[in-house]
Amino acid sequence: MAKVSALGRGLGALLGEIEEAYENELPKKRGVEEIAVSKIRPNPYQPRKHFDQESLVELAESIKAHGLLQPIVVKEDLDGYVLIAGERRLRASKLAKNKTIKAIVVSVSEEQMREHALIENIQRDELNVIELAQAYQELIDVHELTHEQLSQTVHKSRTQITNTLRLLQLSEKGRKALIDGKITAGHAKVILGLEPSEQAMMIDSIIGQKLSVRDVESMVKRIKLPSYSSAHVSSNEALRFDRLKARLSALGYKNGTKGYKLTIDFKDNDQIESFLNLLS
């Protein structure tokens, strides 16, 4: 429990607005300074990997017109500074061609750097849903938290945390489709229980056919039917599958069945064309 209580005390001061964090948890070495942008390295613990370019351009234009209203937070390093908070502001300042940026230099440990990067992004809703799930998982792993304890720490509902973490069960293709906005979180939750190959098929169908979440729910139910038991297939149905398999094999098509599902493996495009001609 020592880890949990330490987390509560350490991260509690980092929650909320970053100005509050400046005062309560991050001891200032000096006041607000102008630091060369070129001397600031990214935070290695930054959980956020995707930044909307259009939004950055808008922020850059605002900085050009009004200046940077909120300083970034950095830690002094041997050959310059390491960013702790404010990556969007730093990126936008670079886009604005600013040579320097307002910053507060603070003294923090490596653990505080990581925690602050996670918490700032969680609190500001700046992470996409996969990055958010990864941030939750990292806090859980590092501090050995339950979902309920994490819920109390980051002020998100336990249900939201649990449902978000489940998205880490998606295949790589599923994660990318979700991040790119090609499928919704609703779609993702429905296909979670499928095998990676089945997820890939469903994702292609969602994108290609503009399927709704309800459409996907119906399709997933059909895919999962074999899991109930092959005993649900009547002898007549099994017989028709056997005859169909034999017929396909005689025509040179490699095939297989599982429950209600029959698959055909094609050798090349010519065999696909031949099969289409056979159907027509």
pLDDT of residue 123: 65
CA distance 241 to 261: 10
pLDDT of residue 126: 64
Its domain, for residue 273, covers 233-279
Catalytic annotation, pick one of 87, 115, 120, 131: 87
DSSP-assigned beta bridge partners for residue 40: 81
Reported confidence tier of residue 104, pLDDT bands at 50, 70, 90: confident
Report, as an integer, the average pLDDT of 229-258: 65
* DSSP 3-state of 21: helix
Catalytic, 126? Answer no
pLDDT of residue 24: 43
Counting the structural domains of the chain, the total is 3
pLDDT of residue 6: 42
Reported confidence tier of residue 187, pLDDT bands at 50, 70, 90: very high
Residues 6+ apart with CB under 8 A from 232: 225
CA distance 55 to 72: 18
Does 44 share its domain with 82?
yes
CA nearest to 183, candidates 195, 194, 175, 171: 175
CA distance 113 to 115: 6
Does 98 share its domain with 37?
yes
User: Taking 60 as the threshold, does the pLDDT of residue 3 lie above it?
Assistant: no
Does 60 share its domain with 111?
yes
Dihedral (Cα; 19, 158, 184, 48), 10-degree rounding: 30
Does 199 share its domain with 260?
no
Across 133-137, 165-169, 228-232, 235-239, the highest mean pLDDT is recorded for 165-169
